[in-house]
Structure 1
Amino acid sequence: MLSNDDNVIECAPTVTVNDSPAQDSSVRQGPIPKACSGWRRDKYIGSLAFNIATFILPALYGTLSKLWVANIDSSMVATTDVYTYLNTAAEAIDEGLPRAAWVIVGDQASRSLAKRLQLTHTLILFQGVAGLVLSIVFVSAASVIADNFVPAQVREASLTYVRIASFTVLAGTVETAVATATRALDKPDVPLVISCIKFAVNIILDLLIISRFHVGAFQPTVNMQAAIQLVCSLVAAFAGLAYFLWSNTWVLYREASGRDDRGSDLQPSAKALLILLRPGLITFAESAIRNALYLWLVTTIVALGTTYATAWGVFNTIRWGLVMVPVNALEVTSLQFIGHRWGQWRHEMGVNNRHPKATWRQLFSIARPAFFFRSLLC
Structure 2
Amino acid sequence: MSIVFVAASSTLAKGFVPVEVRATSLAYVRIGAFSALSSALEVAVSTATRALDQPDVPLVISCDKFAVNIILDLLIVSRFHVESFTPTVNMQGAIQLACNMTASIAGLCYFLYTTRNGVLVPDSAHAPEDSHSTRPSFRALRILARPEILTLAESAVRNALYPWLVHGIVSLGSKYYTAWGVFNTIRWGLIMVPVPALEATSPTFIGHPFQRHKSHNPPCSKSIGLALLIEIPICLLLSFLGAGPFAHYLSNSDTVAKTTARMWQTIDWCYIFCAVSTQLATILPATRPCWYLYQSLASNILYVLPWAIVCQVADLDEADAWTYHSLVFGGSLVFSFFDILVFDALWAWRLREGKTELGAFKES
Equivalent residue number for residue 282 of structure 1: 150
The residue number in structure 2 matching 1:193 is 60
User: Following the alignment from structure 1 to structure 2, what is the Cα–Cα distance between the partners of residues 300 and 374?
Assistant: 36
Which sits farther off after the overlay, 195-204 or 208-217? 208-217
What is the SS of the residue equivalent to 2:42? helix
Contact 2:65 2:99 in 1 (8 A): yes
CA contact (8 A) 1:194 1:237 kept: yes
Query: Against the structure 1 CA distance between its residues 365 and 332, is the aligned structure 2 distance closer, same or farther, given a 3 Å change threshold?
Result: farther
Checking the alignment, whether the CA contact within 8 Å between 2:61 and 2:106 is kept in structure 1 is yes
Q: What aligned pairs does 1:257-268 form with structure 2 within 5 A after superposition?
A: 265-268=133-136
SS across alignment from 2:209: helix
The amino acid that maps onto 1:269 is S
Aligned partner of 1:207 in structure 2 is 74
Structure with larger RCO (C-alpha < 8 A, sep 6+):
1
Give me the whole-angstrom Cα distance separating, in 1, the residues matched to 2:69 and 2:22: 26
| Preserved contact between residue 172 and residue 233 of structure 1 (Cα < 8 Å) | yes
Matched, 1:158 2:158: no
Any idea what SS the aligned residue of 1:367 has?
coil
Corresponding residue number in structure 2 for 1:302: 170
**Change beyond 3 A, Cα 1:265–1:368:** closer
Aligned-residue offset at 1:251: 4.3
Aligned to 2:192: 324
Instruction: Quote the residue 2:179 is aligned against.
Output: 311
Which letter does structure 2 place at the counterpart of 1:368?
P
Q: Does 1:218 align with 2:88?
A: no
Deviation at 1:290, TM superposition (A): 1.1
Provide runs of 4+ in structure 1 moved above 6 Å.
none
Give the letter aligned to residue 367 of structure 1. Answer: P
CA distance in 2, matches of 1:254, 1:264: 5
Q: Could you tell me how far apart the structure 2 residues matched to 1:264 and 1:326 are?
A: 33
Counterparts of residues 96-245 of structure 1 (less than 5 Å): 134-245=1-112
Match for 2:165: what amino acid? Answer: L
SS in 2 for 1:328: helix
Does the 8 Å contact 2:65/2:103 carry over to 1? yes
Unaligned runs of 5+ in 2: 123-130, 227-364
Question: Is the 2:45–2:58 Cα contact (8 Å) retained in structure 1?
Answer: yes
Counterpart-to-counterpart distance in 1, 2:63 and 2:37: 19
SS at structure 1 position matched to 2:87: coil
Asked whether the equivalents of residues 69 and 96 of structure 2 are also in contact (C-alpha less than 8 Å), the reply is: yes
Cα distance, 1:365 vs structure 2: 4.6
**Normalising by structure 2, what TM-score?**
0.56
Q: Which amino acid counterpart does residue 149 of structure 2 have in structure 1?
A: L
Among candidates 204, 211, 219, match of residue 368 of structure 1: 219
Asked whether the 8 Å contact 1:341–1:366 carries over to 2, the reply is no
Letter in 2 for 1:369: C
Q: CA deviation at 1:227?
A: 1.3
C-alpha distance in structure 2 between counterparts of 1:149 and 1:341, whole Å:
45
Decide whether aligned partners of structure 1 residues 366 and 309 sit closer, same or farther in structure 2, where only a CA change above 3 A counts. same
Structure 2 CA distance for partners of 1:143 and 1:270, relative to 1, 3 Å: same
Q: Is 1:339 matched up with 2:190?
A: no
Aligned in 2, Cα 1:213/1:251: closer, same or farther, shift over 3 Å? same
Shift of 1:185: 0.7
Measure the CA separation in 1 of the matches of 2:56 and 2:116: 17
Q: Distance in 2 between matches of 1:182 and 1:270?
A: 19
Per-residue displacement from partner, 1:269-311 (whole Å, max 9, x unpaired)? 2221111111111111111111221111111101111101100
Q: Shift of the alpha carbon at 1:366? A: 8.2
Q: 1:238 to 1:366 in 2, by over 3 A?
A: farther
Counterpart-to-counterpart distance in 1, 2:90 and 2:68: 17
* Higher-Rg member (1/2): 1
Query: In percent, how many aligned pairs have the same letter?
Result: 60
Q: In 2, are the aligned partners of 1:338 and 1:366 still within 8 Å (CA)?
A: no
